């Protein structure tokens, strides 16, 4: 250290406390980075890498960014998974004795960034903390630092279940103690989620964030709040008490099911379009859009609460003019939650306070419109709205109508709010008028039309005369101040006297105005909780209005709930698919699960609509339980506690899991956690392995669900042999998605009908996909051969396939005449054969064996 200059020594001391972050070290008008930080940052940010003499024999690598445009650079680093420690000068350089004091004032991390172009205003940006309670039990707490919204829940399952919930909530950073850091480190690295460690002292009941939650969740909350305090180094008064997510009060949807059902993110490209959120989002505010996302992620499982929301939607649907009036007013309401966060953390500008004031101006009208609606539930809803009158009165009196973005250059505080400020402003304004008058007088006295009075920070005010006109002026009245190439600048005693008055008034006025603004902003902190409660009520109203709007446009109906398990949806539709295509072309389908027959085995060809049918049932249940109308002619539904899906094939390449392994793990999770009140959707279980293995697994799962769980279940399959299970399982019924053959081609009817499908139409689907005619013709020939009496030979060949199960059976004796065929089988390199070559070989072997 002693070989470096004092400034570099200071840098290294600060850096030692923030080794896991890029240190933005303030030097004048720049943030500088040194050593390895500079080398890495210059590559990531694509800025010039330079060097400087730091006192050592070697030059020190260095790069920097202007402090006034640093936000974009910081955001880029954080978006790429890095942390940035902001080190500011904490004393006036003019008063410093030696090196200016500097210290880190904030650490920006992937989970704590609250501003930036990459942040979606319509989505929560959660940072979480996890704590392991038991081998199969975890505590998870999470907070949106920008809004102060916090939640906590208990996760039942292994680390994969915990990570699934973290991914479903879109978290970019998780904080843990050291013991869990070891367990999760590799998992998080593969998913680009930053894993941070917090081993500081527990901060019990800090900020009152632990109210009304089980003791098991306290440590996770403490870890998170402690980390936020350590990194943000500012007021966190806007953090609300954590809301305990009770499993019994919510419809649980695991991460796999959220992905499979495309609730908030498209499987194809990760965008919003084509999702349930995209369909339902007719909200007017950003906070309403965020609440809609949370409701979709955590639907209700309490019948009374569901009916309450549905009643409000009904009332809003009935009164178009009220609905339109409310939506118009809400469009003028800004993001009260994020405004509250900025106020609490001391980063709110005058413009932010003006937006808060303008929003509060609309609240009395919203409250009155609901009160005068004539609907009892809407009138009760209006009673929850607090107009925050004292807050509005203060902002009306203090904040200018259109304040500037900067908080230190004046123009924020209204005239008349503070007497001393008004005096400064009057002096400053009158002084400028006097300057304009002096300029006119001097032009008239000298006859110099281009004479002007100007100002710069170094020389103050001056009279500027071009050299070509100097002979016209009475220089005895002037004192030379500065000489330019083509002009001279002068000052008079009269101008000097006014200069002191004007400059002092302007500077002192700006200083006083900034002090007054900070006082008003600090006063706002005392009302943060009220504003947050108001934001919660208005965002809920916004979502319910959105439900009413979408329900009217899409011809949705109110669902009916009952206390049993039966589910009946008449002429149901997949709402997203319907919106993306012509309404008149969509084929609706009914689904009926009764108490005595609550399992459906669905057969039919690929592309016929089996998966769409299953998804639309799940989406109908979810929409109903968030309080929205549903896409069908009528719906009688039970209150579902959990939804599990196994739809689609997707390898988990990040953890090295194959399609079949993922299928089995998702199925295992569903079966292990489902109850009799759950909804299970299984699409073609077992297709990732051999025919007999897949068929056996599918049947065993259906039997277990039927006998042990009893949940409402939709199970699609291509194994037609399973359709006979309706004779063994009393609550199982067969249905199929109809198709027909027309002129040698398959026509999908997309209609779900009773009974099993008569054939799979696999070759017809291949023909639709554009497979060459020669392959299609040959496949039909082979299919005819397989179905024309050579079943015994087919069974013999099929019995040779590999199986997951170790079936120890005595082999049948092999005659000498079969050895040639068996030798051919053993010597054949199956991995390098095309499917058509393999099929031809098998057919040839069958003929040879059949002839024996």
Are the beta carbons of 276 and 262 closer than 8 angstroms?
Answer: yes
**CA–CA separation, 620 vs 618, rounded Å?**
5
The pairing of strands 589-593 and 30-34 is unpaired
For domain 419-521, which CATH number applies: 2.40.37.10, 2.60.40.10, 1.10.1060.10, 1.10.1420.10? Answer: 1.10.1420.10
> Other CB atoms closer than 10 Å to residue 125's CB: what's the count?
24
Are the beta carbons of 266 and 274 closer than 8 angstroms?
Answer: yes
Start-to-end CA span in the chain (Å): 90
Q: pLDDT band for 444, please (50, 70, 90 cuts).
A: very high
Establish whether domains 419-521 and 555-767 are of one fold.
Answer: no
Secondary-structure class of domain 555-767 per CATH: alpha beta
Q: pLDDT band for 488, please (50, 70, 90 cuts).
A: very high
Shortest CA distance to 637 belongs to which of 622, 647, 650? 622
For the segment 195-228, what is each residue's pLDDT rounded down to a tens digit?
999 886 655 545 455 567 888 999 999 999 999 9
Are the beta carbons of 428 and 502 closer than 8 angstroms?
Answer: yes
**CA–CA separation, 525 vs 789, rounded Å?**
84
> Other CB atoms closer than 10 Å to residue 20's CB: what's the count?
12
Tokens encoding 44: 């990531």
Tell whether 257 is in a known binding site: no
For the segment 18-73, what is each residue's pLDDT rounded down to a tens digit?
999 999 999 989 999 999 999 999 999 999 999 988 877 788 999 999 999 999 99
**CA–CA separation, 330 vs 541, rounded Å?**
9
Question: Residue 103: how many CA atoms within 13 Å on its side-chain side?
Answer: 7
**CA–CA separation, 463 vs 488, rounded Å?**
8
Vertex 741 angle, CA 740 and 746, to 5°: 85
> Other CB atoms closer than 10 Å to residue 743's CB: what's the count?
5
824 has a pLDDT exceeding 60 = yes
Task: Please report the DSSP string for 182-241 in residue order.
Answer: HHHHHHHHHTT-EEEE--S---TTGGGTTTTS-GGGHHHHHHHHHHHHHHH-S--TTPPP
Residue with tokens 């039997």: 703
Tokens encoding 287: 């906070």
**CA–CA separation, 287 vs 149, rounded Å?**
11
Tokens encoding 604: 């039919």
List strands edge to edge, sheet with 173-176.
194-197, 173-176, 126-134, 137-144, 149-156, 243-244
Among 616-625, 681-690, 757-766, the range with the most confident prediction by mean pLDDT is 616-625
Q: What is the mean pLDDT of the chain?
A: 86
Q: How high is the pLDDT of residue 271?
A: 85
Tell whether 607 is in a known binding site: yes
Tell whether 611 is in a known binding site: yes
Q: pLDDT band for 647, please (50, 70, 90 cuts).
A: confident
Q: How high is the pLDDT of residue 426?
A: 85
Residue with tokens 């009217």: 552
Q: Where are the domains of the chain?
A: 6-108, 286-388+527-553, 419-521, 555-767, 772-805+815-851
Residue with tokens 């306070």: 353
Tell whether 604 is in a known binding site: yes
Q: How high is the pLDDT of residue 428?
A: 79
Mean pLDDT of 456-463: 86
Are the beta carbons of 351 and 407 closer than 8 angstroms?
Answer: no
Tokens encoding 576: 């997203």
Tell whether 536 is in a known binding site: no
127 in the Ramachandran plot: left (φ > 0), alpha (ψ -120 to 50) or beta? beta
For the segment 414-427, what is each residue's pLDDT rounded down to a tens digit?
999 999 899 888 88
Length of the chain: 852
Vertex 235 angle, CA 229 and 238, to 5°: 100
Please determine, looking at this structure, whether the domain spanning 6-108 carries the CATH number 3.40.1170.10.
Answer: yes
Tell whether 235 is in a known binding site: no
Burial of residue 53 (CB within 10 Å: 0-12, 13-18, 19+) is exposed
Return the CATH fold of 286-388+527-553.
MutS, DNA mismatch repair protein; Chain A, domain 3 (1.10.1420)
Q: How high is the pLDDT of residue 352?
A: 96
For the segment 525-582, what is each residue's pLDDT rounded down to a tens digit?
999 999 999 999 999 999 999 999 999 999 999 999 999 999 999 999 999 999 988 6
> Other CB atoms closer than 10 Å to residue 566's CB: what's the count?
16
For the segment 266-280, what is each residue's pLDDT rounded down to a tens digit?
888 878 899 999 999
Tell whether 661 is in a known binding site: no
**CA–CA separation, 289 vs 539, rounded Å?**
8
Task: Please report the DSSP string for 452-467 in residue order.
Answer: EEEEETTTEEEEEEEG
Are the beta carbons of 613 and 602 closer than 8 angstroms?
Answer: yes
Tokens encoding 563: 């206390």
| Out of 320-329, 649-658, 715-724, 746-755, least confident range | 649-658
502 has a pLDDT exceeding 50 = yes
Model pTM? 0.82
Shortest CA distance to 643 belongs to which of 332, 376, 324, 299? 299
| Out of 429-433, 462-466, 774-778, least confident range | 774-778
Range 806-836 burial, b when 16+ CB lie within 10 A, else e: eeeeeeeeeeeeeeebeeeeeeeeeeeeeee
**CA–CA separation, 841 vs 847, rounded Å?**
10
**CA–CA separation, 157 vs 171, rounded Å?**
19
Mean pLDDT of 789-807: 45
Q: pLDDT band for 140, please (50, 70, 90 cuts).
A: very high
Tokens encoding 72: 């974009």
Cα 500 to Cα 22, 428, 454, 458, 513: the distances in Å are 45, 11, 15, 14, 19
Are the beta carbons of 600 and 715 closer than 8 angstroms?
Answer: yes
Q: pLDDT band for 801, please (50, 70, 90 cuts).
A: very low
Among 545-549, 713-717, 842-846, the range with the most confident prediction by mean pLDDT is 545-549
Range 551-565 burial, b when 16+ CB lie within 10 A, else e: beebebebbebeeeb
Tell whether 592 is in a known binding site: no
For the segment 751-796, what is each residue's pLDDT rounded down to a tens digit?
888 988 766 555 555 666 666 777 766 766 666 665 564 444 444 4
Mean pLDDT of 733-739: 87
β-strand partners of 736 = 603, 753
Are the beta carbons of 720 and 603 closer than 8 angstroms?
Answer: yes
> Other CB atoms closer than 10 Å to residue 655's CB: what's the count?
14
Burial of residue 499 (CB within 10 Å: 0-12, 13-18, 19+) is middle
């Amino acid at each position: 250290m002693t070989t470096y200059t004092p400034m570099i020594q200071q840098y290294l001391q600060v850096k030692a406390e923030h080794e896991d972050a890029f240190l933005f070290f303030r030097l004048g008008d720049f943030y500088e980075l040194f050593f390895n930080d500079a080398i890495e940052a210059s590559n990531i940010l694509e800025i010039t890498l330079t060097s400087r003499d730091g006192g050592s024999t070697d030059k020190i690598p260095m790069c920097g960014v202007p402090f006034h445009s640093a936000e974009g650079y910081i955001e880029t680093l954080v978006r790429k998974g890095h942390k940035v420690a902001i080190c500011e000068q904490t004393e006036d350089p003019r008063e410093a004795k030696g090196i200016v004091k500097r210290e880190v004032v904030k650490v920006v991390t992937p989970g704590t960034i609250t501003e930036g172009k990459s942040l979606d205003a319509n989505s929560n940006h959660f940072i979480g903390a996890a704590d392991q309670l038991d081998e199969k039990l975890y505590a998870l707490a999470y907070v949106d630092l920008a809004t102060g919204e916090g939640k906590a829940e208990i996760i039942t399952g292994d680390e994969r279940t915990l990570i699934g919930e973290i991914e479903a909530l879109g978290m970019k950073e998780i904080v843990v103690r050291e013991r869990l850091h070891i367990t999760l480190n590799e998992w998080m690295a593969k998913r680009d989620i930053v894993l941070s460690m917090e081993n500081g002292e527990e901060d019990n009941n800090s900020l009152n964030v632990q109210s009304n939650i089980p003791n098991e969740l306290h440590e996770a909350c403490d870890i998170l709040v402690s980390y936020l305090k350590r990194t943000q180094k500012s007021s966190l008064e806007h953090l609300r008490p954590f809301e305990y997510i009770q499993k019994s009060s919510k419809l649980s949807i695991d991460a796999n099911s959220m992905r499979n059902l495309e609730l908030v993110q498209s499987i194809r490209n990760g965008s919003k379009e084509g999702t349930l959120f995209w369909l339902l989002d007719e909200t007017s505010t950003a906070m309403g859009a965020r609440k809609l996302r949370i409701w979709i992620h955590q639907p209700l499982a309490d019948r009374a609460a569901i009916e309450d929301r549905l009643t409000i939607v009904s009332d809003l649907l009935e009164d178009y003019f009220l609905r339109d009036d409310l939506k118009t007013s809400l469009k003028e309401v800004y993001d009260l939650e994020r405004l509250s966060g900025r106020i609490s953390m001391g980063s709110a500008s005058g413009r932010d306070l003006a937006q808060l004031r303008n929003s509060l101006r609309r609240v009395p009208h919203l409250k009155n419109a609901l009160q005068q609606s004539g609907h009892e539930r809407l009138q009760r809803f209006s009673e929850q709205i607090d107009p925050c009158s004292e807050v509005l009165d203060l902002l009306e009196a203090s904040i200018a109508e259109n304040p500037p973005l900067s908080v230190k250059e004046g123009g924020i505080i209204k005239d008349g709010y503070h007497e001393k400020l008004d005096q400064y402003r009057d002096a400053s304004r009158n002084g400028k008028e006097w300057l304009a008058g002096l300029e006119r007088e001097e032009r008239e006295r000298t006859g110099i039309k281009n004479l002007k009075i100007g100002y710069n920070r170094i020389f103050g005010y001056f009279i500027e005369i071009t050299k070509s006109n100097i002979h016209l002026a009475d220089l005895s009245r002037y004192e030379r101040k500065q000489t330019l190439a083509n002009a001279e600048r002068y000052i008079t005693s009269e101008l000097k006297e006014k200069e002191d008055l004007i400059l002092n008034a302007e500077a002192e006025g700006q200083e006083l105005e900034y002090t007054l603004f900070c006082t008003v902003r600090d006063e706002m902190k005392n009302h943060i909780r009220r504003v947050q409660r108001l934001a919660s009520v208005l965002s809920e109203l916004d979502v319910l209005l959105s439900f009413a709007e979408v329900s009217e446009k899409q011809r949705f109906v109110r669902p009916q709930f009952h206390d049993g398990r039966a589910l009946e949806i008449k002429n149901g539709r997949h709402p997203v698919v319907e919106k993306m295509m012509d309404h008149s072309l969509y084929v609706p389908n009914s689904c009926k699960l009764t108490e005595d027959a609550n399992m459906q085995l669905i057969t039919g060809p690929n592309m016929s609509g089996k998966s769409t049918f299953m998804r639309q049932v799940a989406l109908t249940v979810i929409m109903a339980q968030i309080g929205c109308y549903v896409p069908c002619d009528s719906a009688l539904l039970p209150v579902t506690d959990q939804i599990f899906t196994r739809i689609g094939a997707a390898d988990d390449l990040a953890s090295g899991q194959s399609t079949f392994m993922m299928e089995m793990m998702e199925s295992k999770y569903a079966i292990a956690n489902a109850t009799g009140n759950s909804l299970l959707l299984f699409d073609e279980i077992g297709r990732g392995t051999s025919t007999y293995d897949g068929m056996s697994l599918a049947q065993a799962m259906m039997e277990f669900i039927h006998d042990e769980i009893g949940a409402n279940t939709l199970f699609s399959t291509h194994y037609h042999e399973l359709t006979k299970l309706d004779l063994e399982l009393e609550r199982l019924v067969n249905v199929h998605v109809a198709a027909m053959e027309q002129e040698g081609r398959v026509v999908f009817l997309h209609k779900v009908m009773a009974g099993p499908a008569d054939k799979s139409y696999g070759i017809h689907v291949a023909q639709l996909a554009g497979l060459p005619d020669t392959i299609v013709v040959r496949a039909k020939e082979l299919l005819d051969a397989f179905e024309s009496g050579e079943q015994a030979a087919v069974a013999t060949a099929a019995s040779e396939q590999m199986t997951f199960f170790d079936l120890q059976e005595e082999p049948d004796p092999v005659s000498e005449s079969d050895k040639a065929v068996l030798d051919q089988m053993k010597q054949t390199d199956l991995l390098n054969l095309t499917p058509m070559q393999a099929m031809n070989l098998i057919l040839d072997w069958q003929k040879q064996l059949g002839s024996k």
